[in-house]
Amino acid sequence: MVSLNGNVLFSDKSEDFPTFIKNAYKFFKTDYSKFFKMDNLSKLAFFAADVLLKNENLNEEENNIALVFSNNASSLDTDRKHQAAIENETEYFPSPAVFVYTLPNICLGEISIKHRLYSENSFFIFDRFNAEHLQLYANSLLRSVKAEKVLCGWVNFDKNNYEAFLYLVEKEGVFEHTKEEITRLYNTL
């Protein structure tokens, strides 16, 4: 399911991620030629960010939006695929196209390229969603004027288990959420 601000935008009963993400890509008319070359974590992060950022009036040249993401699996799903290629003695051929995605922050690069984001980005690994850390980091970026906005969240992919919870933080806005409110929103997923 894909929802934005509590409204369900897309629902798909597919049991596997490749089918779900392909159907969602078509439904939202996502346009990014490298999308299907990405690993699953990057597809998930890219797609979630794209749905959220499509509603922003982004500049076609440059956008000062920082990215601060987190998860608990890092890039483990892709790491397993890369490790299997290394361990296969009869057909040893680790792919550079897989290896590049053995860092979880690569998904941030894909989002930055598509939306022309030239600000800070960080990817943190936590046992669970850590709203307090993301809030402190986002506030630091905003106060130091390193970013005008910060796209924060949790994007996790391990085997066929996946979830994405993203939110955009600005210095001033219609309302503010406390870390407790953000954690509560995350827990309603």
Domains delineated in the chain: 2-74+104-187 (3.40.47.10)
Q: Which of 160, 123, 119, 164 is nearest to 142 (CA)?
A: 119
Kind plus residue range of the DSSP H or E element containing 3: strand 2-4
Q: What's the pTM value of the predicted model, to 2 decimals?
A: 0.85
Residues 6+ apart with CB under 8 A from 86: 92, 94
For residues 19 and 16, what is the distance between their CA atoms, to the nearest angstrom?
6
- 51-106, pLDDT tens digit by residue? 999 988 887 888 899 999 999 999 888 878 888 888 877 767 777 777 777 788 89
